[in-house]
Amino acid sequence: MITVLVAEDNDKLRQLMGTVLNKNGYHAILAEDGQKALDLLETNHVDLLIADIMMPNVDGYELTRRLREAGYLNPVLMVTARESFKDKQMGYLAGTDDYMVKPIDVNEMILRVGALLRRAKIASDRKLTFGELMLDYDSITVYRGEEGTLLPQKEFYLLYKLLSYPNKIFTRLQLMDEIWGMDSETDPRTVDVHVNRLRERFKNDPEFDIVTVRGLGYKAVKNV
């Protein structure tokens, strides 16, 4: 599921945006200011950021600037009451991809989010780098340097999913739904089998561990 981080200090608007995003098939996580957004970005994979400009602690300009300097390439949509050309210019110079002026139409917001994600997908080469490892989604191959290992399809998709969201806990049912399909009649314990195969396959790789969270499921933990 695509994760959208909303950084907005207005409680009602933040909750409304989160509700609308969730209803439209996204997973929304909410931050009341730019500093909280930075904290969340350390432990969550975020596909798109929606940021207000006027926020306490770290404002939208500074938040976007820091992320771009740190190499965050995913789309940023700024939402603000400021509508002058100079304000918009500052936003684009900070690294935003799009701009909405308050009061916003949440339906338009959803359209803009979809458009930004489509553009990002086209620009993306569908590769995930994790330390010295590179996962190529299109060839379901894991590379270390020039050496590549072609994985069984379900193993690769499971690994790619876990490594895309470091420290995020996935239940067995979530992983079954996303990788085997909601209509699959496969036993959820199949996930355990595939996790064990991945652990054995990558036991000598220092970049990550797949950790069992008792009573919940699994998560990938970065070691680099």
Neighbours of 78 (CB within 10 A): 28
Range of the domain at 210: 127-222
CATH of the domain at 52: 3.40.50.2300
Among 60, 71, 66, CA closest to 6:
60
Amino acid (one-letter) located at 141: T
**Burial (CB count <10 Å: 0-12, 13-18, 19+), residue 216:** exposed
- Does one domain contain both 21 and 46? yes
- Does one domain contain both 76 and 117? yes
pLDDT values of the chain reduced to their tens digit, one per residue, 224 residues: 789 999 999 999 999 999 999 999 899 999 999 999 999 998 888 999 999 999 999 999 999 999 998 888 889 999 988 778 888 888 888 999 999 999 999 999 999 998 888 777 644 557 888 888 999 887 899 999 889 999 999 999 999 989 988 888 999 988 888 788 755 677 778 999 999 999 999 998 889 999 999 988 999 998 86
DSSP state of 204: T
